[in-house]
Amino acid sequence: MKYGYFDDKNREYIINNPRTPWPWINYLGNEDFFSLISNSAGGYSFYKDAKFRRITRYRYNNVPMDSGGKYFYINDGESIWSPGWKPCKTELDSYECRHGINYTIIKGEKNGITARVLYFVPLKTWAEVQKLTLTNNSKKVIKLKVFSFTEWCLWNAASDMENFQRNFSTGEVEIEGSVIYHKTEYKERRDHYAYYSVNVPIQGYDTDRESFFGLYNGFDEPQVVAEGKPKNTEAHGWSPIASHFIEVELKPGESKDFIFVLGYVENKEDEKWESKNVINKKKAKETIAKFNTSAKVEAALADLRKYWDNLLSIYTVDSGDDRIDRMVNIWNQYQCMITFCFSRSASFFESGIGRGMGFRDSNQDLTGFVHQIPERARERIIDIASTQFPDGGCYHQYQPLNKRGNNDIGGGFNDDPLWLILGSVSYIKETGDFGILNEKVPFDNDVSVARSLFDHLTVSFDHVVNNLGPHGLPLIGRADWNDCLNLNCFSNDPDESFQTTENKTEGSKAESVMIAGLFVVYGRDYVELCKRLGKDAEAARAQKHVDTMVDVIKKYGWDGEWFIRAYDYYGRKIGSNDNEEAKIFIESQGWCTMAGIGKEEGLCTKALNAVKERLDSKYGIVLNNPAFTRYYIEYGEISSYPAGYKENAGVFCHNNPWIMIGETVVGNGDRAWDYYKKICPSYLEEISDLHKTEPYVYAQMVAGKDAFKPGEAKNSWLTGTASWNFYAVTQYMLGIRPEYDGLLIDPCIPTDWKGFKATRKFRGATYQIEVVNPDQKSKGIKEVTIDGMPYKSNLIPAFGDGKEHKVKVVIG
């Protein structure tokens, strides 16, 4: 069953049934000020950091689901309703939510009135703008009482939820004209406040939550709305909110716009006050003034659209299949931008409190957006590298607000350092900017021990070399990419975290074949980089380590039909036919086949066939098989999940593209694309009631074949699935891949495709690419022409001449 449809022209998903199987959300803002918004206007806002600068309050995992948001209540004399159906849940005559690229439009109709709300964060603005348009479609004059609503969060989203003995006494607001200011803690250590304004005179307001709702009412029945009369309350402690009251009269056919601005301000210490206890409102007023007419708001929205027109024009494909095109051209790229902004911190599955920016996550995310905003990727690489330790290890996460490593999580995840090579190389291949390697980058944010980014890559590489186990494979540490494979944890205390509790590495033989494959892939990248920089001795040294690792994997990492996954603390195989459960894992098949290990001897083909046979399912490739059915103390969290969920044999979508890329290495386009379609959200739109999460973005996990409900997805939006799918489909399957010396065109497509067209902007030139497939092959290059002239190779030069070039590639 579907709950809406794609509008590709406007780059929107249009939801026409508010009872979606789960809140289907969108993100506003992509720089400093952010909001999450559901299809019924639930959600919240924050500045940079969802934990430390939470601006409005939201209740996760509540009953009903999705409670709290940016609501409008309309009392038309007959009914009380909200344009997004919730929170009132009054049946609407019609409902529509358009989730667009960084904006959302929610429209409800009731009793002859249309209420349409446009929500977005204008570029370079620390505020969310909401334009409410009320239209009278009836033949009579209509009088409405309109109430806005948002609830302030007391900044730190964690203490806001627990420290009530303090919180209930600290809340402070100011009301001036049509602006409600939230200034809790401003008079002591905070340099910031928030505000909520509307561009018309108001007829009243409320800022005390209980007065607005009545102590025993929910979001669906605020007392003042029912009474049609605000109480003009000024909050002192308890829970401050902001609600404007506006009386509106509309003639038949008349429309009126009301512009609300929900913003955030920081003031310097000596500019905090206008007079005693009166905050300096200058910056807030400046922002409000920028959006005080409909024309200004529409112009800001047009700027936002233009910004995205540009970003989304860099890579486009015309494959002849709308479901592929809309993902590659619009939604997958958009999701990559969102994961770039938030890593895994704030979604409807991530509370914004628990996690900051992941070291490995952010490096992988980078591959999905580096073509769009290389300068921000550059900054991100430096930020990430700055949290590395001098021995190459690194903090697993850092906080976006202060960019410091997160002590609560610490380090010791031995795959982390290698991803920095991926991030840096992806950036350089896209931009040609080798200069980044000379940037001085601190260790653990200590500038006194700063060294070049290149040196950071060297210590990343050597972190593996210096931490090898008894077989010569990399020691796993706390875990590798699979956070839940905790081979040194041995936890029998339910109150400790698998990731951060004492790690018994002393005497451990736990090694990871996945890190070994990763090391071969990014070790080779490191070698090539060294050669480009003329560091031949270093290249030769590194090459030796890589070659040795390939031999070690063949010797100790091969199980006969597939690659084993790891060795445990005691040196016993994991992911081997000898094991009773979890005989095979996806990760090592992905990385070892991407590295082409044993390709000549047929190991890659065998491993990929084993994946097809044992891990593939209707809804994607599961992580391991058979699933664990009991807790193994020596394996950790992975065996804590019920069979078929998350890292225990779920379809963990992040790693499916590794197999797709592996299939392209052996030239099996049919299989690669078959896997792609199984997890591609636009292909799952028809089964939305099973799939549950948004049909326009990837989810982290779909319940696997051993689960109670195979096919049900969880954890949408913030997942490495976004960048890895984009990377796989654009660079390896469509095969348009940036290299140091140009754009490589090496597609691997289904045999029944006749070809495809694509546009790629790359280092200052535009490539109009046409791929044709007359012989019904998947891979291989028969002929290349550039601007009509035969060309010797499928590595197309980086022309950098600002011109358009026609590239034709014949597969054969």
**Cβ closest to ligand BGC, residue 192 vs residue 360:** 360
- What's the CA gap between 654 and 645, in Å, rounded? 14
Using DSSP's 3-state secondary structure scheme, residue 229 falls into: coil
- What's the CA gap between 89 and 18, in Å, rounded? 10
Neighbouring residues of 165: CB distance < 8 A, sequence distance ≥ 6 = none
Size of the site for ligand BGC (CB under 6 A): 9
Q: Tell which one of 136, 431, 482, 731 touches ligand BGC (CB under 6 A).
A: 482
C-alpha to C-alpha distances, 473 to 106, 433, 523, 558, 587, nearest whole angstrom: 54, 33, 14, 12, 15
Least distance (Å) from ligand BGC to the CB of residue 647?
Answer: 5
Count of CB atoms situated within 10 Å of the CB of 444 = 15
Nearest 5°: phi and psi at 717?
Answer: 80, -70
Amino acid identity for residue 654 in this structure: H
Least distance (Å) from ligand BGC to the CB of residue 155?
Answer: 26
- Report 312-371 residues binding ligand BGC (CB under 6 A): 344, 358, 360-361
Can you say how many angstroms the Cα of residue 690 is from the centroid of all Cα atoms in its chain?
22
Least distance (Å) from ligand BGC to the CB of residue 702?
Answer: 14
**Cβ closest to ligand BGC, residue 360 vs residue 573:** 360
Q: One of 160, 483, 525, 559 is an active-site residue; which one? A: 483
- What's the CA gap between 422 and 414, in Å, rounded? 15
Neighbouring residues of 152: CB distance < 8 A, sequence distance ≥ 6 = 55, 56, 57, 171, 173, 182, 184, 194, 239, 240, 241, 242
Neighbouring residues of 102: CB distance < 8 A, sequence distance ≥ 6 = 26, 27, 28, 29, 30, 120, 121, 304, 308, 334
The answer to the question of residue 47 lying near ligand BGC (CB under 6 A) is no
Least distance (Å) from ligand BGC to the CB of residue 418?
Answer: 13
Helices H, strands E: what count in the chain?
19, 44
Q: Tell which one of 288, 484, 743, 784 touches ligand BGC (CB under 6 A).
A: 484
- Report 635-654 residues binding ligand BGC (CB under 6 A): 647
Give the residue from 596, 599, 699, 702 showing the smallest Cα distance to 644: 702
- 8 Å CB contact between 593 and 666: yes
**Cβ closest to ligand BGC, residue 142 vs residue 489:** 489
**Cβ closest to ligand BGC, residue 616 vs residue 647:** 647
**Cβ closest to ligand BGC, residue 416 vs residue 616:** 416
**Cβ closest to ligand BGC, residue 714 vs residue 761:** 714
- What's the CA gap between 187 and 181, in Å, rounded? 13
Least distance (Å) from ligand BGC to the CB of residue 465?
Answer: 22
Using DSSP's 3-state secondary structure scheme, residue 605 falls into: helix
- What's the CA gap between 665 and 735, in Å, rounded? 11
- DSSP-assigned beta bridge partners for residue 56: 152
Q: How does DSSP classify residue 269?
A: G
Least distance (Å) from ligand BGC to the CB of residue 621?
Answer: 14
Using DSSP's 3-state secondary structure scheme, residue 774 falls into: coil
Q: Tell which one of 160, 257, 483, 559 touches ligand BGC (CB under 6 A).
A: 483
**Is 191 marked active-site?**
no
Strands (E), 500-645: 511-512, 566-567, 573-574, 584-585, 616-617, 620-621, 624-625
**Cβ closest to ligand BGC, residue 136 vs residue 721:** 721
Least distance (Å) from ligand BGC to the CB of residue 202?
Answer: 44
Q: How does DSSP classify residue 413?
A: B
- What's the CA gap between 74 and 80, in Å, rounded? 5
Q: Tell which one of 481, 635, 645, 658 touches ligand BGC (CB under 6 A).
A: 481
**Cβ closest to ligand BGC, residue 650 vs residue 669:** 650
Helix (H) or strand (E) holding 737: strand 736-739
**Cβ closest to ligand BGC, residue 150 vs residue 693:** 693
Strands (E), 507-602: 511-512, 566-567, 573-574, 584-585
Least distance (Å) from ligand BGC to the CB of residue 638?
Answer: 9
Least distance (Å) from ligand BGC to the CB of residue 679?
Answer: 15
Exposure b/e, 176-193, CB count within 10 A at least 16 = b? eebbbbbbbebeeeeebb
**Cβ closest to ligand BGC, residue 51 vs residue 244:** 51
Least distance (Å) from ligand BGC to the CB of residue 726?
Answer: 17
- Two tokens, residue 692: 């549950």
**Cβ closest to ligand BGC, residue 83 vs residue 358:** 358
- What's the CA gap between 176 and 710, in Å, rounded? 55
Cβ-closest position to ligand BGC: 483
Least distance (Å) from ligand BGC to the CB of residue 139?
Answer: 56
List of residues contacting ligand BGC (CB under 6 A): 344, 358, 360-361, 481-484, 647
Residues serving a catalytic function are 483
